[in-house]
Amino acid sequence: MKNLKCIFAVNLLGILCHATFTARADEPKPKLYPLKTCLICGMELGMMGSKPYVFVYHGQEFKVCDESEKKMFDKEPAKYVKQLADAAAKLTK
């Protein structure tokens, strides 16, 4: 009986893991962040020796200097989405 419970638990875990990874594989990839600077402070990303804080907002990747700047983004996301769109448009001209 113990073996049967163990086999059932392992199979259930396998099914759950497969479903999780399959769902993630179907998600669309976010648009890459096109700038080398932070939208919040304007500094070059990585200038201070640390890796940028990366997050995705509505299918768009964003990079900021650190997590505290992410909190600033969260207060006015529409402002920064527009800033990024404007900056990206200048890059393609």
pLDDT at position 83 is 96
User: Would you state the structure tokens that stand for residue 12, as one six-digit string?
Assistant: 């259930």
- pLDDT, average across residues 21-35: 79
Does residue 15 register a pLDDT over 80? no
Which of 89, 85, 47 lies closest to 64 in space, CA to CA?
47
Does residue 20 register a pLDDT over 60? no
pTM, whole model, 2 decimals? Answer: 0.69
4 or 86: whose pLDDT is higher? 86
* Mean pLDDT over each residue of the chain, to the nearest integer: 84
CB 36 within 8 A of CB 44: yes
Does residue 75 register a pLDDT over 80? yes
Which of 85, 75, 80 lies closest to 39 in space, CA to CA?
80
